[in-house]
């Protein structure tokens, strides 16, 4: 299996690049943000709980997202592999993911991390906020908080994969196609 963690701060292009990668490599896209937004739209209990955190740009508790990913892995039986987008976001989530994959006799192949400067992230998210309807894109303070939370709670996950020699940074600035080529080069070399 090819199991890729597509990593990066809010607005770095994880969702955009995932759509292209799943097509090229025949993978299943698991975005915890997308799953949470679907729960929210369906007004489930889980969605209502998650909304309290998402609207402020804070992380939803580990137990909630880990449970969600566990169920999604079970739903998808025999597949070529997964792209994990926006997960893991804490070291506890990374440990839980390793253990869930181990139960399925597989593991993370590599983590590719999109690197994009702060001002570019803010520009992209405010721009998307004009039409996305995403509550967390509407407000500059919430966007800044999402980036702060990324540096404080999520960036340390890099060390977790670095220790396993699975961390590969990629320049996330440029055209969508150029960035896609950079990602494919790294994946092809290490798959």
Active site residues: 14, 89, 128, 134, 146
Report if residue 182 touches ligand AP5, rule: CB under 6 A: no
Euclidean distance between CA atoms 29 and 111, whole angstroms? 15
Report if residue 65 touches ligand AP5, rule: CB under 6 A: yes
4 binds, among Mg ion, ligand AP5, none (CB under 5 to 8 A by kind): none
**For the purposes of burial, counting CB atoms within 10 Å of the CB of 138, is it exposed (0-12), middle (13-18) or buried (19 or more)?**
middle
Report if residue 13 touches ligand AP5, rule: CB under 6 A: yes
Subset of residues 5 to 34 that bind Mg ion, contact rule: CB under 5 A: 14-15, 33
Report if residue 36 touches ligand AP5, rule: CB under 6 A: yes
Parallel/antiparallel/unpaired status of strands 82-85 and 167-171: unpaired
What is the edge-to-edge ordering of all strands in the sheet holding 82-85? 28-31, 82-85, 4-7, 110-115, 167-171
Residues in contact with ligand AP5, counted by CB under 6 A, come to a total of: 28
Euclidean distance between CA atoms 94 and 102, whole angstroms? 12
Q: Which of 168, 153, 159, 186 minimizes the C-alpha distance to 60?
A: 153
Running DSSP on this structure, what letter comes out for residue 145?
Answer: H
Smallest distance, ligand AP5 to C-beta of residue 164, A: 19
Smallest distance, Mg ion to C-beta of residue 152, A: 19
Report if residue 32 touches ligand AP5, rule: CB under 6 A: yes
Footprint of ligand AP5 on this chain (CB under 6 A)? Answer: 8, 10-16, 32-33, 36, 53-54, 57-60, 65, 86-87, 89, 93, 124, 128, 136, 146, 176, 179
């Amino acid at each position: 299996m090819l199991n890729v963690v597509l990593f990066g701060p809010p607005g770095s292009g994880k969702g955009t690049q995932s759509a292209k990668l799943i097509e090229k490599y025949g993978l299943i896209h698991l975005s915890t943000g997308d799953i949470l937004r679907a729960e929210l739209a369906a007004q489930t209990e889980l969605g209502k709980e998650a909304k309290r955190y998402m609207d402020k740009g804070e992380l939803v508790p580990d137990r909630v997202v880990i449970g969600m990913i566990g169920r999604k892995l079970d739903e998808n039986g025999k597949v070529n592999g997964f792209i994990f987008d926006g997960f893991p976001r804490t070291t506890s989530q990374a440990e839980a993911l390793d253990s869930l994959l181990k139960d399925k006799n597989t593991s993370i192949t590599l983590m590719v991390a999109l690197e994009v400067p702060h001002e570019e992230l803010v520009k992209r998210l405010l721009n998307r906020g004009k039409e996305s309807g995403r509550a967390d894109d509407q407000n500059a303070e919430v966007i800044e908080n999402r980036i702060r939370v990324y540096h404080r709670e999520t960036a340390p996950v890099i060390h977790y994969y670095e220790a396993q020699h699975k961390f590969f940074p990629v320049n996330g600035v440029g055209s969508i196609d150029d960035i896609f080529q950079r990602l494919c080069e790294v994946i092809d070399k290490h798959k």
